[in-house]
Amino acid sequence: MEHKVLIIVGDASETVDTLYPYYRLIEGGFKPVIAGPEVHRYQMVMHEVKPGWTITKEWEGYTIQSDIAFRDIKPEEYLGVFYSGGRAPEYLREDEDLLRITRYYFEKNVPIASVCHGVEIPARAGCVKGRRMATVPKCQFDLEVCGGTFVNEGCVIDGNLISGRTYHDHGLYMGPWMRLLEEARAQAKA
């Protein structure tokens, strides 16, 4: 049995936010499944606040091929989900199929991870009320207006929900999320 985990992407997903969990999942013996609005190749970006800048600079990153469209996802077939950052969540958060599967994962308490702007999807889905999360500080408003609590730390664990601020925090929050996935895999095998 393949133990599949979704990675949510679209055009302008952050490259490091997406590829780091992708390869960590493979390393952990999971099958990462790239999900987007449609099945095609998405253009990722790289984000950094350049020295002397007060806003994020964006460069083109690698591209990534999606495996499945949101509308075709059967959420019960996946052990967990990862919401990548970058600008993609700003438009992905309006996709009704993505909102449906997001609500499913929060209701079922599967291992969920979010980084940077990824918070905008569960916030829009109405899933963050009363939850503590890290996100990039510019998304603090999105989280709080939807009832969540912003925590400016590299790894925030709130039950099944693991979050980080930016790709600089991958080394802090990915380990706890991977451990949740390992527990879910062990339960699925039992």
Which helix (H) or strand (E) element contains residue 174?
Answer: helix 170-189
pLDDT, residue 60, reads 92
pLDDT, residue 2, reads 82
Domain that holds residue 20: 4-189
DSSP code at position 187: H
**46-51 long-range Cβ contacts below 8 angstroms, 24+ apart:** 46/14, 46/15, 46/16, 47/14, 47/85, 47/86, 47/116, 47/166
pLDDT, residue 1, reads 58
pLDDT, residue 35, reads 98
pLDDT, residue 53, reads 82
| Tens digit of each residue's pLDDT (9 = 90 or more) over 103-127 | 999 999 999 999 999 999 999 999 9
Per-residue pLDDT of the chain (190 residues; tens, 9 = 90+): 589 999 999 999 999 999 999 999 999 999 999 999 999 999 999 988 788 888 888 889 999 999 999 999 999 999 999 999 999 999 999 999 999 999 999 999 999 999 999 999 999 999 999 999 999 999 999 999 999 999 999 999 999 999 999 999 999 999 999 999 999 999 998 7
132: tokens are 């503590």
The residue whose two tokens read 């449609």 is 38
Structural domains in the chain (count): 1
pLDDT, residue 103, reads 98
What CATH code is carried by the domain that includes residue 159? 3.40.50.880
139: tokens are 């998304």
